[in-house]
């Protein structure tokens, strides 16, 4: 195979993607009042619709699920209406887009919670990480442990959010089970020291992630359901003593549910691909549908891994920020623009919708 194979159509369930390049979720902190995505969001995603699949920024399923300022939700009618403008813009350009469903768990701050409540977690263990609130990065707040009686409500929030996403015109949803957020916190024993049915064994720690996935599948169908996982990433202070056993089991169960893809962060999120020993090939072999590979990919690595059949689709994150036409730039081996870190989080159009395409940048 050659690198050009990356730019040929791919069948994802019943959806035909124009290429194998995926735009990974990118938090940009630009939602308006009521955590509603605005007209700039529609422009931003529409500019990047040449990706085979766009995955939206992480979107909280409830107010309790919010962990950073100005991130969008999918639990109110106004939010559904705002997101519909985004999906309309993407579909008008022939693109496909999934919404990423998010509950941050303990990675939050009391100022983002209803009535200043403590963030929730599997166990009352404070994360060694920061969050973005009041336009600054600050330590997260001390969490409280969710009770058994509360867990069906978490599952219900994800189910309803998936239904809302389809109502907003999305082609499907991606459950956020990665990067040290709630479902990942339950799965990893560095954050989960429960002694009930949701703690202790590999099976128990996987329970909430799998219950959420099953509920979403029941609501919108397996063909419109994906999930993101990060078996060895230490993002947001999580750790696992048994990642291979844990995620081999999780992926076996996800495969049984028949979901359309798993989106795997290979290594440390945004960092080393070799942060810890792990056989990602084991996940690839266990999962019979689409494997989306993520973390540190460039054209050469993606082409090589595709030629070895180690993944089907390849997710690119930050390169999409300053390169709305990233697919064309990769296809022609053009130089990639660099994004401005000062405008990464929050603000308006600057550093969001004003990055030019290669063609526009070359005009006199």
Q: Which two tokens stand for residue 150?
A: 């509360």
- CA dist 159 and 214 (Å) reads 9
Q: Which two tokens stand for residue 254?
A: 């996800």
Instruction: Of 139, 153, 144, give the one whose Cα is nearest residue 122.
Output: 144
Paired with 133 in beta bridges are 136
Q: Report the relative pairing of strands 21-23 and 53-60 from DSSP bridges.
A: parallel
List 10, 181, 261, 355, catalytic entry: 181
SS3 186: helix
Instruction: Of 11, 44, 19, give the one whose Cα is nearest residue 320.
Output: 44
Paired with 15 in beta bridges are 12
How many other C-beta atoms lie within 10 A of the C-beta of residue 75?
18
CA angle 291, 154, 149 (to 5 degrees): 135
68 is catalytic: no
Q: Please report the beta strands in 209-328, taking only residues with DSSP state E, as ranges in sequence order.
A: 225-229, 261-265, 290-294, 313-316
Instruction: Of 273, 235, 294, 224, give the one whose Cα is nearest residue 23.
Output: 294
Q: Please report the beta strands in 161-319, taking only residues with DSSP state E, as ranges in sequence order.
A: 172-177, 225-229, 261-265, 290-294, 313-316
Paired with 294 in beta bridges are 265, 315
How many other C-beta atoms lie within 10 A of the C-beta of residue 364?
2
Angle formed by the axes of helices 151-167 and 77-92, to 10°? 40
Positions annotated as catalytic residues are 181
């Amino acid at each position: 195979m050659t690198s050009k194979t990356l730019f040929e159509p791919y069948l994802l369930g019943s959806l035909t993607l124009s290429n194998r390049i995926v735009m990974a979720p990118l938090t940009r902190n630009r939602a308006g009042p009521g955590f509603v995505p605005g007209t700039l969001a529609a422009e931003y995603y529409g500019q990047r619709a040449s990706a085979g699949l766009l995955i939206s920024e992480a979107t909280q399923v409830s107010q309790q699920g919010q962990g950073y300022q100005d991130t969008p939700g999918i639990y109110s009618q106004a939010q559904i209406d705002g997101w519909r403008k985004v999906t309309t813009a993407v579909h008008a350009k022939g693109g496909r887009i999934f919404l990423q469903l998010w509950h941050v768990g303990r990675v939050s701050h009391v100022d983002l919670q209803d009535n200043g409540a403590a963030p929730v977690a599997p166990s009352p263990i404070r994360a060694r990480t920061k969050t973005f609130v009041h336009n600054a990065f600050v330590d997260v707040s001390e969490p409280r442990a969710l009770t058994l009686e509360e867990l069906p409500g978490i599952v219900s929030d994800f189910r309803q959010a998936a239904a809302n996403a389809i109502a907003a015109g999305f082609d499907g949803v991606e459950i956020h089970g990665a990067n040290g957020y709630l479902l990942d916190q339950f799965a990893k024993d560095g954050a989960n020291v429960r002694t009930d049915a949701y703690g202790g064994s590999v099976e128990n720690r996987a329970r909430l992630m799998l219950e959420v996935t099953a509920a979403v599948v029941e609501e919108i169908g397996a063909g419109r359901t994906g999930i993101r996982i990060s078996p060895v990433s230490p993002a947001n202070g999580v750790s696992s003593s048994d990642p291979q056993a844990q995620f081999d089991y999780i992926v076996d169960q996800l495969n049984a549910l028949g979901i359309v893809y798993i989106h795997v962060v290979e290594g440390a999120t945004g960092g080393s691909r070799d942060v810890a020993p792990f056989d990602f090939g084991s996940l690839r072999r266990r999962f019979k549908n689409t494997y989306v590979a993520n973390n540190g990919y460039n054209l050469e690595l993606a082409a090589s891994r595709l030629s070895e059949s180690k993944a089907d689709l390849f997710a690119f994150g930050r390169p999409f920020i300053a390169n709305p036409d990233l697919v064309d730039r990769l296809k022609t081996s053009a130089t990639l623009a660099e994004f401005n870190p000062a405008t990464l989080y929050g603000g308006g159009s600057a550093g969001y919708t004003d990055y030019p395409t290669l063609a526009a940048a070359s005009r006199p």
